[in-house]
Amino acid sequence: MNSNRFHSILSKYINTGCLNRTDKLLSFINGKIPFQKNATSIVKEFNQLDDAVIGNSVQYLCNKYNGGNKKVQEIMKFLQSELSNDLKGAFLHGSLATNEGIPYSDFDGLVIIKNEVFKDKDRLISVAIKLSKAYSMMISMDALQHHGWFVMTEKDCKNWPNNYFPPILFEYSQSLLFSNAVIDLTYLPSIEKDKAALLRLCSSTANHLRSLTIPDNSFQLKSILSEFMLLPSLYIQYKTGKGIYKKFSFEEAAKDFTPNEWEIMNEVSAIRENWDLNTGIELFESPVIVTPWLKKQQVNRSSKISHELRIKMDPDFVGRMMKFTNLIRSKII
């Protein structure tokens, strides 16, 4: 199986257990059923992954999270008490890890699951259910949290999919499990994989913008804006063959565009900086399995877009987002 495809499937399994429509229906009966149903196929696909490559070797040292965010601390305690024997590491990256969080910021977390977990189907089920519950803690922290865990395996460390999670991100990450966590990675750069990842993002972004209208709820709008603002970092990774921390990608990517072409990225970034639409679903105090029904409620209960923002993001605004997305695509094909 293609490595990127495996990680996409593994991420779906770990976060909700659901891989298809049948799983979604079964989750209405009991949220644990999809995890139990799909564990065998996940183990099978894991065993087909390549074990190691000869390539670039890097090592990162991540200090333990020392920020003051109470919700992050709660997630840390949960991981440490429930999953410390099953994970090679758990890491917080993004603005919360660098203490630059703003109201728009969500929880960007990566877990690396030990190889031994995949030797025991029941253990895998247990680990996945606990990580899904930790995902619900992210949602209780931010009602608009639109993604769960980034998921890797210990085996991946010897053949790291750097277009899925660029190693450079570990330089700006903090450990959620162990003090002074050391990560050793080996990876092979691939311009073709970087190109494919950027093209997928361009296609997805264009599809979401095609109607030239914005969603009427904040959950879906935040997802679209976040996708659009990821374009510079994937563009720089494709151009240079190296990953880049998202914060620095905007300045680097802007060099390849005229001020007029880049202005829409500045305008979207300004919406992020002034974001005040985080109200929505409220979960129970105890962690729960994240099901497709719960995800749907995130959309349905999220706050409505203000009249002022809707006026700002008119068809011309969205059309310029689409034009910029197509401009990125034109530079790589």
Kindly list the domain boundaries of the chain, sorted by start residue.
3-187, 191-330
> For residues 161 and 312, is the Cβ–Cβ distance under 8 A?
no
pLDDT digits (tens, 9 = 90+) for 29-49: 999 999 999 999 999 999 998
Which two three-digit tokens encode residue 5? Answer: 């495809």
Residues 104-121: tens digit of each pLDDT: 999 999 999 999 999 999
Q: How confident is the model at residue 52 (pLDDT cuts 50, 70, 90)?
A: confident
Length of the chain: 333
Tokens 């390549």 belong to: 50
For the chain, give the mean pLDDT: 94
Report the pLDDT value the prediction gives residue 51, as an integer from 0 to 100: 79
Between the CA of residue 315 and those of 207, 211, 308, 310, 320, what are the distances in Å?
A: 15, 9, 14, 10, 9
pLDDT tier for residue 167 given thresholds of 50, 70 and 90: very high
CA distance 219 to 298: 7
* Residue 85 pLDDT exceeds 90: yes
At 1, the pLDDT band (50, 70, 90 cuts) reads low
Whether 2 has a pLDDT exceeding 80, the answer reads no
3-state helix, strand, coil in the chain (%, to 5): 55, 10, 35
Taking residues 231-242, what's their average pLDDT? Answer: 95
- Band the pLDDT of 332: cuts 50, 70, 90: confident
pTM above 0.75, yes or no: yes
13 pLDDT more than 60: yes
DSSP state of 167: G
Whether residue 208 has pLDDT greater than 80? yes
Q: Could you give the CA distance from residue 193 to residue 175 in angstroms, rounded to a whole number?
A: 28
pLDDT value at position 225? Answer: 97
